[in-house]
A = this chain, B = another copy of it.
């Protein structure tokens, strides 16, 4: 995956060099690559080729990387550390970070459109639509907006869930769906994968909140304790650590149940659901 990302990003020698260097810094700086792993694991369930999956995975990861660069900007979370390194606007400058995010988003859609990824072009257009909706104002970017509006407010559990279904869930769901769409799967199985994706998307955020509350900056690779500091509503602030952990575990179990009937092909998806929830507690 690292090689695919390195190959699909413009070379740092191409004009404008500084922008391309910054794009590579933003994407190639490590990260767990959870979304690409989900694309591959879902593709395995649907039976398809790695060369399709690696492009779809790169597209999803470009969207994820752009969102991190923009989220770290001073007008958003104002964070200086990401994956253990200075954030893009600290290492380069704010204007460059803005353009890095903008360009990574364009690149994601370019990748999804210019290589043959599905067995027919109509289906591939569906994939473009799916990623666009997941990234946009009714998906990830909308989740950020809900997040901004909720700082300092007390949210109910359903309100918090609505925020995270947008903010993190939409792109995680897109990763699973895009992987599956690279292959062939019945509508019934797509619906099961959809449910699986929703469960792990939410679990991912619950675990993130727990980690932010418990972990140190060194372990996390980004500034820890920011949520409480910024008075942001989280699963921990709403439920406490113990109940938040129990919720994550319930979601993990739900996700596993959704894969019943997929057989051995779903082994990697199962392992990822476990990884997402159990990664640090």
Contacts and interface: CB of A to CB of B under 8 A. Distances in A.
A107 B121 contact: no
Contacts of A70: 98, 102
A201 interface: no
Nearest to A108: B132
Copies in the complex: 2
A128 interface: yes
Contacts of A124: 121, 125
B145 A19 contact: yes
B98 A142 contact: no
A98 B75 contact: yes
A176 to B, nearest CB: 19
Contacts of A142: 15-16, 19, 103
B102 A73 contact: no
A14 B109 CA distance: 25
Interface of A is mostly: helix
A96 to B, nearest CB: 7
Nearest to A112: B128
Interface stretch (A133-141, A187-195, A223-231, A243-251): A133-141
B102 A141 contact: yes
Contact of A109 (B23, B73, B132, B141): B132
Interface in A116-158: 120-122, 124-126, 128-129, 131-133, 135-139, 141-142, 144-146, 148-149
22 contacts: A16-B142, A18-B145, A18-B149, A19-B141, A19-B145, A70-B98, A75-B93, A76-B95, A95-B148, A96-B148, A99-B141, A99-B148, A101-B102, A106-B137, A107-B136, A109-B131, A109-B132, A110-B133, A113-B132, A114-B129, A121-B121, A128-B128
